[in-house]
Chain A
């Protein structure tokens, strides 16, 4: 393994960190533990979000004109562009990402 960005050797992923792979942890406040998976760095955040939501058993939903959506938060900012790749989010030299799956809670009697 050369350690140069973008070079990965097939079969070596378990023993040597590959620069093509990003270790992703996603936390969700109601859950006890995080979702964890290694992704190719070119993976879109929409893919990670779908996998994490599947793990946590939550789905976006619609009520009337309102949509209830789950977001990613990364380093205190909400991610709005889910077509962004892990590399674009993290930069070329980051090997891991700690994301939080978040939601806007709305409770109310008079809301349609």
Chain B
């Protein structure tokens, strides 16, 4: 068996992934709830985000103090993604206005703790459009570590690419948007 987690030197994030993610989560932020999205792509040394996956309906729970994705919905997404060679590259979620885009203990303990998986926190309920203002963390060894501004610039490459797939998923199905 191959090693399950090839090292990632750099993540490529198309602008379209940013736009799609914000479009998918802002509604919750505006109504005072947390929400989030998953970024998928081919995991390799330079890993590009190619798919934004937004949980909907019974696939997730949006509340004032937390956002969760059900295991069943996660399984549905996994069954859809794996045959296409897609892996989970990052989990994004909102923090509401007044709460810094830093990881809470819940974020750390109840997030996806696999090597080089990103945990990205969008501040100000989704009103912070510039990703440089978000909190960018990467799981290494035993915990998440925040990127410094310099490291963020080196390891996360933004592109103007508009080709991105956005999918909606719940416990039963994955739908292309």
Contact = CB atoms under 8 A, between A and B. Distances in A.
Interface in A56-79: 56-58, 61, 63, 66, 68, 71, 73, 76, 78
B68 A106 contact: yes
A58 to B, nearest CB: 7
A57 to B, nearest CB: 7
B31 interface: no
B66 A76 contact: no
A66 B68 CA distance: 14
A71 B43 CA distance: 23
Given A30-B117, A56-B4, A107-B36, A76 B75 contact: yes
B34 A73 contact: no
A29 B64 CA distance: 27
B75 A61 contact: no
Given A31-B87, A102-B72, 4 more contacts: A29-B88, A102-B75, A108-B104, A111-B110
Interface of B: 1-2, 4-6, 34, 36, 43-44, 63-72, 74-79, 81-82, 87-88, 91, 93, 95-96, 99, 104-107, 109-115, 117, 172
